[in-house]
Chain A
Amino acid sequence: MDELKLAELKSLNETAQYIVIKLGDEQYGIDIKYIDNIVRMQNITRVPKVPEYLKGVINLRGEVIPVMSIRLKMDLPVDEITKATRIIILKLEQHGTIGVIVDEVREVVTLSAENIEKMAYDGKEGKINFVNGVGKHDDELISLLDLNAVVMEK
């Protein structure tokens, strides 16, 4: 029992690092432990007969990696490719390696557990919840992405 409490305390004090990205006007955080790499936007080879949000595949040092658009997945307006556009390569246990397109990568922040407000699942809207918490950092709010929900097939 004591061990459990200890573990709880530990997790409260634990901090996690997030990469802050921009999608439209909103800021999102991606847990750094899932991030393998961040690369510049490059030519994406379209793959036919797949959902629209799957943009295709890219060559990442000899490996073929699928790339998806978070914007399309989250029903946001279509990506506008600018100089700041990046592809974040995620390594997820369940889905393997996958790239996601973001408008801009801003910074790395360290959030302690007390600065994160967990968000309960809101099933009313009938939509998939892509955000599982909100982090507070220097008066700014960062929506923390639930990567499994983002990557999960529709």
Chain B
Amino acid sequence: MDVNQYLEIFLDETKEHLESLNTQILSLEQSPEDADTINEIFRAAHSLKGMAGTMGYKRMQALTHDMENVFSEIRNGSMKVTSGLIDILFQCLDALEEYTKCIQETADEGTNENQQLIDQLNDFLKGGGQAETSAEKPKKAKKEAKAETPKEDQKWKAIPLGDPEKHVFAVAKKQGKHVYGLDIRVQETCILKAARAFLVYKAIEEKAEIIVCNPSAQDIEDERFELEFSLIVVAECEIEQIIAAAKNVSEIESVTGDVVDIDVSEYADDKYGKEDDKADTKVAVSQAAQGTAVKQSDKKASKPVVNRTVRVDIEKLDVLMNLVSELIIAKNSLVSASSTETSLGSGFNEQIEYLESVTTNLHESVMKVRMVPIESVVNKFPRMIRDLSKKLDKKMELYMSGEETELDRTVVDEIGDPLMHLLRNSADHGLESAEVRAKRGKPEVGSIFLDAYQDGNNVVIEVRDDGNGIDVEAVKTKAIERGVITPEQGESMNEKDIINLLFHAGFSTAKQISDVSGRGVGLDVVKSKIESLSGEVEVKSKLGEGSTWIIRLPLTLAIIQALMVIVGGEKYAISLGSIQTIEDINPNEIKLVQNREVIHLRGTVIPIIRLSNELDIESTKQDDENMVVVIVKKGERLAGLVVDELIGQQEIVIKSLGKYISKCKIISGATILGDGEVALILDANALI
């Protein structure tokens, strides 16, 4: 059955369910008795299982099935939530995420059975939550649970059985025949797997009747299986005979099998299991049944879910985006035409104004479609902090605010890793151990804050902790030790510059290297990632009180307001967002400080950057003429960019320079002007 067309939906929904499971299980740990949470978890797990089954991801289905059983027990009140259980559930979620990732990359779930997790889950089921999670115990329990749990080498037990099959088995049993499950493993070196499988098939068919085959006979024929396949057969003879027949085929590594113990009562006492198995097998049996399965899970999830989203193919959005870009380009050409041909009447200008309002609106609405709340990214952090708390043996709590803050989809997708780095950093380096905290009179539980809010055309995300703060002296010593700076440089640097050294590649002050952080690859990656999103990151810290990492990101990346300037006859665009003021400066006002040109403007000393030098071009202005200086801001730092001429403000569409020209740091992109010329966009952040 071709389910590829549903793959995307499957992935999206799986991710959503996993996310919700993560959050819900976390809150379950806080309030283990909350019925709503348990119901929510159960629903999510159930839908997940149904979906995995529909798509034919057997391993994923098997794992979720066992998870669901556990949730079901919890729901019935026959099992208590323990910290150990929560740990295992989280591991299961990780495993499921692993599957999802694998499916996303290869459309296949991979071969990891995660048998250990399934066993552990079953232990909990058996022990009613009393089971221990120590290393030896599960192994022992595994042996005991042999009868119920499918062993790793009994894959045929994972074959879903539907009513028709069961019926056949029942009839066979009545006739005194045996039902066997077989696992056949082909040698790894075998070249013609399908042919070997076919021979095995044939050999077995002489002795027995093959009822179910996993993967399907068609798949085996098309060589769409790994090294193993499983069969369920009905035969009169003993299983040894069948195994011997199959083993006669060359290049077969192993054939194992056992009597299938089908007991209808097995399904009867597991109400949910039965219902689901039905749903799943129906799907496996007939394609049409797919609707039924979906309907079933829909019914279960009929309670309003937290967030209903409309999914839009990002490619389609890009097309829309391009259309808007072209519209704006068209508008720009009209603008340039109107300025050159003054003879045209005022109606023309009205047209332009109209066009302008249309394009601005269109731009805004398209932007809104692209905006998604950062929720989807930050929701996984509470879970991560919980794990870190256990791993690092530090007590900590994460407080989040502003999860609803919206950002461009592309930015949201990229921001997860840097934020994770910063949070790990805070947890590992920032927060002190319990003893130190007690000594300093701080509450035992460390706090990490993640706040997001919109600030003008930017979105600010702050990661704050009440930990140790940054030890400037330690950073300086380390930097000198590592050869990042010379001792002389260290003397002349102020606190802020030293803190910024943390973003230097190959820098880590953690005295102990832990697997959480401390490899010295964190912060410089964070910085470059955020800069690649045209954002910036800065740190504020007070020793002993904690530190704050501030990430500033532009709301959108595609269309910006820009100031067009001319330098040496060439046109450049500077993003309006970074411009503070524009000044007319007499060359006499330029002073030299430490051999660098600065101006003194309304009480602040601002360094001057001559763009003509930076851009390797001759300025068209005479030295004694007044200079046009564009004052730009990066965080709290200012700089004055000297340009030859100002053209004016314009809405520009940002185009990438392509990967071929990527080394030019001070140019962040290009735009197409009304006359079709390309103008480069200066990255003020890189210049400062």
Per-residue interface assignment for chain A, residues 13 to 55, with 1 indicating a CB less than 8 Å from any chain B CB and 0 otherwise: 0000000000000000000000000000001011111100010
Knowing A62-B322, A66-B657 are in contact, say whether A46-B570 is a contact too (CB < 8 A).
yes
- What separation, in Å, do the CA atoms of A98 and B616 have in the docked complex? 23
| Residue B1 is within 8 A (CB to CB) of chain A in the complex | no
Per-residue interface assignment for chain B, residues 522 to 540, with 1 indicating a CB less than 8 Å from any chain A CB and 0 otherwise: 0000000000000000000
Residues of B within 8 A of A64 (CB): 655-658, 670, 672, 678
| Residue A59 is within 8 A (CB to CB) of chain B in the complex | yes
Residues of B within 8 A of A101 (CB): none
- What separation, in Å, do the CA atoms of A54 and B657 have in the docked complex? 12
| Residue B9 is within 8 A (CB to CB) of chain A in the complex | no
Knowing A48-B667, A49-B666, A62-B325 are in contact, say whether A98-B678 is a contact too (CB < 8 A).
no
Residues of A within 8 A of B655 (CB): 63-64
Residues of A within 8 A of B659 (CB): 95-96
- What separation, in Å, do the CA atoms of A45 and B657 have in the docked complex? 11
| Residue B164 is within 8 A (CB to CB) of chain A in the complex | no
Task: Select B614's contact among A46, A48, A54, A98, beta carbons within 8 Å.
Answer: A48
Question: Taking the nearest CB of chain B, how far is it from the CB of A56, in angstroms?
Answer: 8
Which chain B residue shows the least CB distance to A49?
B664
Question: Taking the nearest CB of chain A, how far is it from the CB of B162, in angstroms?
Answer: 43
Residues of B within 8 A of A96 (CB): 658-660
| Interface residues on chain B, size class | 20 to 34
Question: Taking the nearest CB of chain A, how far is it from the CB of B196, in angstroms?
Answer: 22
| Residue A144 is within 8 A (CB to CB) of chain B in the complex | no
- CB <8 Å contact, B329 and A62: yes
Which chain A residue shows the least CB distance to B672?
A59
- CB <8 Å contact, B661 and A47: yes
Question: Taking the nearest CB of chain A, how far is it from the CB of B572, in angstroms?
Answer: 10
| Residue A134 is within 8 A (CB to CB) of chain B in the complex | no
Question: Taking the nearest CB of chain B, how far is it from the CB of A153, in angstroms?
Answer: 8
- What separation, in Å, do the CA atoms of A64 and B678 have in the docked complex? 7
Task: Select B326's contact among A47, A62, A95, beta carbons within 8 Å.
Answer: A62
Per-residue interface assignment for chain B, residues 651 to 677, with 1 indicating a CB less than 8 Å from any chain A CB and 0 otherwise: 000011111110111110010100011
Which chain A residue shows the least CB distance to B670?
A64
The main secondary structure of chain A at its interface with chain B is strand
- CB <8 Å contact, B663 and A57: no
Task: Select A59's contact among B325, B616, B677, beta carbons within 8 Å.
Answer: B677
Residues of B within 8 A of A43 (CB): 677
| Interface residues on chain A, size class | 20 to 34
Interface centre among A48, A50, A66, A98 (most CB of B within 10 A): A48
- What separation, in Å, do the CA atoms of A43 and B570 have in the docked complex? 12
Residues of A within 8 A of B658 (CB): 64-66, 96-98
- What separation, in Å, do the CA atoms of A49 and B614 have in the docked complex? 9
Question: Taking the nearest CB of chain A, how far is it from the CB of B619, in angstroms?
Answer: 14
Q: Give residues of chain A (84-140) contacting chain B, Cβ–Cβ below 8 Å.
A: 95-98
Which chain B residue shows the least CB distance to A45?
B678
- CB <8 Å contact, A45 and B660: no
Residues of B within 8 A of A66 (CB): 657-658, 660-661
| Residue A58 is within 8 A (CB to CB) of chain B in the complex | yes
| Residue B366 is within 8 A (CB to CB) of chain A in the complex | no
Which chain A residue shows the least CB distance to B665?
A49
Residues of A within 8 A of B664 (CB): 47-50
- CB <8 Å contact, B680 and A47: yes
Which chain B residue shows the least CB distance to A151?
B660
Knowing A62-B322, A62-B325, A64-B670 are in contact, say whether A47-B657 is a contact too (CB < 8 A).
yes
Per-residue interface assignment for chain B, residues 40 to 71, with 1 indicating a CB less than 8 Å from any chain A CB and 0 otherwise: 00000000000000000000000000000000
- What separation, in Å, do the CA atoms of A52 and B615 have in the docked complex? 14
Q: Give residues of chain B (211-230) contacting chain A, Cβ–Cβ below 8 Å.
A: none
Task: Select A48's contact among B325, B329, B617, beta carbons within 8 Å.
Answer: B617
Interface centre among B322, B659, B667, B678 (most CB of A within 10 A): B678
Residues of A within 8 A of B570 (CB): 45-46
Task: Select B663's contact among A49, A63, A97, beta carbons within 8 Å.
Answer: A49
Knowing A57-B661, A62-B672, A64-B655 are in contact, say whether A48-B616 is a contact too (CB < 8 A).
yes
| Residue B679 is within 8 A (CB to CB) of chain A in the complex | yes
- CB <8 Å contact, A95 and B657: no
Which chain A residue shows the least CB distance to B654?
A64
- CB <8 Å contact, B660 and A59: no
Which chain B residue shows the least CB distance to A62?
B326
Residues of B within 8 A of A54 (CB): 660-661
Question: Taking the nearest CB of chain A, how far is it from the CB of B7, in angstroms?
Answer: 25
Residues of A within 8 A of B617 (CB): 46, 48
Q: Give residues of chain A (55-87) contacting chain B, Cβ–Cβ below 8 Å.
A: 56-59, 62-66
- What separation, in Å, do the CA atoms of A49 and B617 have in the docked complex? 11
Residues of A within 8 A of B670 (CB): 45, 57, 64
Residues of B within 8 A of A151 (CB): 660
Residues of B within 8 A of A49 (CB): 616, 663-667
Residues of A within 8 A of B676 (CB): 59
- What separation, in Å, do the CA atoms of A59 and B653 have in the docked complex? 13
- What separation, in Å, do the CA atoms of A149 and B563 have in the docked complex? 39
Which chain A residue shows the least CB distance to B663?
A50
Interface centre among A57, A58, A96 (most CB of B within 10 A): A57
Residues of A within 8 A of B657 (CB): 47, 57, 64, 66
- What separation, in Å, do the CA atoms of A58 and B658 have in the docked complex? 12
Knowing A64-B657, A64-B658, A97-B658 are in contact, say whether A45-B680 is a contact too (CB < 8 A).
yes
Residues of B within 8 A of A45 (CB): 570, 670, 677-680
Interface centre among B615, B658, B663 (most CB of A within 10 A): B658
- CB <8 Å contact, B678 and A58: yes
- What separation, in Å, do the CA atoms of A47 and B616 have in the docked complex? 10
Task: Select A50's contact among B325, B329, B661, B672, beta carbons within 8 Å.
Answer: B661
- What separation, in Å, do the CA atoms of A46 and B665 have in the docked complex? 15
Question: Taking the nearest CB of chain B, how far is it from the CB of A107, in angstroms?
Answer: 28
- What separation, in Å, do the CA atoms of A4 and B614 have in the docked complex? 57
Which chain B residue shows the least CB distance to A58?
B678
Residues of B within 8 A of A63 (CB): 655
Per-residue interface assignment for chain B, residues 373 to 407, with 1 indicating a CB less than 8 Å from any chain A CB and 0 otherwise: 00000000000000000000000000000000000
- What separation, in Å, do the CA atoms of A98 and B661 have in the docked complex? 10
- What separation, in Å, do the CA atoms of A63 and B325 have in the docked complex? 11
Interface centre among B322, B329, B614, B670 (most CB of A within 10 A): B670
Contacts A56-B678, A64-B672 aside, 17 further interface pairs with beta carbons under 8 A come to A45-B677, A46-B617, A47-B657, A48-B615, A48-B617, A49-B663, A49-B665, A58-B678, A59-B672, A62-B325, A62-B672, A63-B655, A64-B656, A64-B657, A64-B658, A66-B661, A98-B658
Which A residues are within 8 Å of any B CB, using their own CB?
43, 45-50, 54, 56-59, 62-66, 95-98, 151
19 contacts between A and B (CB under 8 A): A43-B677, A45-B678, A45-B679, A47-B664, A48-B616, A48-B666, A48-B667, A50-B661, A54-B660, A58-B678, A59-B677, A64-B655, A64-B656, A64-B657, A64-B672, A66-B661, A95-B659, A97-B658, A151-B660
Which B residues are within 8 Å of any A CB, using their own CB?
322, 325-326, 329, 570, 614-617, 655-661, 663-667, 670, 672, 676-680
Shortest beta-carbon contacts, A-B, top 9? A45-B678, A64-B655, A48-B615, A64-B670, A66-B660, A49-B664, A59-B672, A66-B661, A59-B678
